[in-house]
A = this chain, B = another copy of it.
Amino acid sequence: MSSRFEPRDPDWKARCLASFDKQAICKTLGIELTAVEPGFCEMRLPFRADLTQQNGFFHAGMVATLADNAGGYAAASLMPPGADVLAVEFKINLMSPAKGDVMIARGRVVKAGRTLVITQVEVSMLDGGVEKDCALMQQTTFCAMPK
């Protein structure tokens, strides 16, 4: 399920970056947008001890936050001018502890509908230079147009 997508908005990149810039949460947590292409987005979150659960690894909520964000902008890249992306729902399997130096989430669109865009997001941990699978998400996003 990989495809090449044609963006519907010539300014898709500027629109995505402007929206990302308005997300206060990303500055607070230290989330970096490291790549965005039509139908694809990568985000990274360097490890911080103050974002951990009881065992000292990234909290599952941080994994979900990064994955939801990467999937959201993968979807947003294919939406028309003026559109805002909203997450309808997501499901995430946490396969291994989020242990390491940098968390990486890569979101890919698997279905670009007019109203709904479906994504899949793979999350990995960069740990001592080695990247290891961490979590897997399926996400449904909604294309909200200005009223």
Contact = CB atoms under 8 A, between A and B. Distances in A.
Contacts of A50: 24-25, 27-28
A117 to B, nearest CB: 10
Interface residues of A, number: 50
Interface string A8-48: 00000000000110111101100000000000000000000
A103 B27 CA distance: 21
Interface of A: 1, 19-20, 22-25, 27-28, 49-55, 59-62, 64-66, 68-69, 84, 86-96, 110-111, 113, 115-116, 118, 120, 122, 133, 136, 138, 140, 142
Given A23-B54, A89-B93, A92-B89, A133 B111 contact: yes
A61 B87 CA distance: 10
A54 to B, nearest CB: 4
Q: Main SS of the interface on chain A?
A: mixed
A111 B96 CA distance: 9
Contact of A116 (B27, B59, B142): B142
Given A19-B54, A27-B50, A140 B89 contact: yes
Q: Which 10 A-B pairs have the closest CB atoms?
A: A61-B65, A91-B91, A95-B111, A22-B54, A25-B59, A64-B64, A89-B93, A28-B50, A60-B87, A24-B52
